[in-house]
Every structure is written in structure tokens, then in C-alpha cells.
Amino acid sequence: MTSSTPPPVQPLPEDWSRALCVVAHPDDLEYGAASAVAKWTHQGKTITYLLATRGEAGIDGMRPEDAAALREAEEVAGAREVGVDVVEFLDHSDGVVEAGLPLRRDIARAIRRHRPEAVFGINHHERFAGGFTNQADHRAVGLATIDAAKDAGNRWIFSELIDEGLEPWSGTRFVAIAGSPLPTHGTDVTGFMDPAVRSLRAHAAYLEGLGDAAPDPEEFLTMIAAGAGLAMDVEAAVLFEVFDL
């Protein structure tokens, strides 16, 4: 008889120095994973953010071109709170990101440029941990990130990147997906919640646009981290589904 007990969550490997975080929108990383980023930059690791869109469709009542500039600035400010200085945007269209070869190529290009040892992405499953239905952009970008991490190491996939002077990069050891309903690994973020809260609060205009649906950053992030901490027997944690490459 097969047991329904999920496998234990293992500590995420942290013997690396460079990582690339790939998500769909401004604020995706701030809803939980930023506390882990704060921990890693505190350790001296180099973390770069790559966003598929500028979140231009995310504020009801604000024209997309205005929202894009505002949300880009909020993302840069939020990243700075957790020690990230480089934030790049791919300019795919918010809300209608297409899960195709152009997206994979763009992410593979960034991986070849930044040469990360670890790549972090957003949940690609149909639901989040907790059962909430996932959004289409998250699913597209999450799956493309897993695929692109492999593509980046193959000279004959997107060979036009060679013409751009970008040699293949096979040094990415794993892709870790935040928000997955199937976590395999986690990292203890006890003591790193304050910068994560400041990082989410930097998205002030976006949170204001949510109205009554906007969470209190400190209450929300503390609750999420405490729930994840139960899986590791620590005060606060971030969980990931890890795909070894």
C-alpha cells in the first residue's frame, strides 16, 4: 500500500555564488522568496533579477504605459532592499505572456550572459501551494525557465546566440521553483524577514491599487514563512521545488 505522506523537505544547497531569479511580474519575488534573496546577498552571493514583463496590466485604472514605468521603479527599489542591484526586464506583454520559443530564447540569453550556478523561478503548476489557481504568465515563465536552463548549455539550441557572442553555459546546477505545491527543498530565512517586508512595501502603488484585497506585508509574509518553517522545523523558511540539471 502506497503511503500518502509527502517526502521530507531537504535543505536547499547553498554552496554557490551566483544566481539568476526569473519571474513574470514586478512583485512576484516579493511575495515570499525575497527573504531568501536577502539571506543570500547577506552571505555575499550575487543575485540578479530578470522579469518577463513590467507589470503594465497590473493596476486597474492606470494606463499600461504609466503603470509599466511605475512598477519598474518599484521593482528596482524593492530589489535594492534585499541587496540586488541588477534588475532586467524582457518586455513581454503582461497578462498574455506566450509560452513559446521566443520566451525560452530570451531567458537562455540571460543565463548565458550572467552564467549563474543556480536559477530560481516562479511556480509553473496550475495551482499554488495552498490550492489557489495559478496565473497564466507565471505558468509560462516558470516552465520556460526550467527549459531555458537546459537550452543555455546546448550550442545547437538557439545557435543564433553564438553570433551574439554568447557561448553556451552549462554551469547551472539546478532550477528552484518558488511557490510550488510540490516543494522538495527549503531554506531557513529566520532573521531575514524585515528586508523582505520592506521589499514588498516598496510596491506601494501596486498594493494601493489592490484596495481592500491588498495584504499587510508584514502579516502576510510572516504567515507564509512560518507555515513553510514547519516543514523544516525552523521559525521561518522559503520552500522550493528543485530540478537538478
CATH number of the structural domain spanning residue 200: 3.40.50.10320
In a domain, 39, yes or no: yes
In a domain, 44, yes or no: yes
- pLDDT value at position 115? 98
In a domain, 10, yes or no: no
Q: How many CB atoms lie within 10 A of CB 52?
A: 27
User: What's 212's DSSP letter?
Assistant: G
- Distance separating alpha carbons of residues 134 and 146, to the nearest angstrom: 17
Residue 3 pLDDT more than 80? no
In a domain, 3, yes or no: no
Which domain covers residue 229, as residue numbers?
A: 15-244
In a domain, 7, yes or no: no
Residue 47 pLDDT more than 90? yes
DSSP H or E stretch at residue 107: helix 101-114
pTM of the model: 0.95
In a domain, 23, yes or no: yes
- CA–CA–CA angle 222, 214, 234 (5° rounding): 10
Give the Å distances, CA to CA, from 191 to 200, 235, 242.
16, 9, 24
**Average per-residue pLDDT in the chain?**
95
In a domain, 228, yes or no: yes
Q: What is the number of structural domains in the chain?
A: 1
In a domain, 97, yes or no: yes
- pLDDT value at position 5? 55
- pLDDT value at position 4? 52
The one-letter amino acid at 26: P
Torsion angle of the four alpha carbons 107, 113, 114, 117, in this order, in degrees rounded to the nearest 10: 80
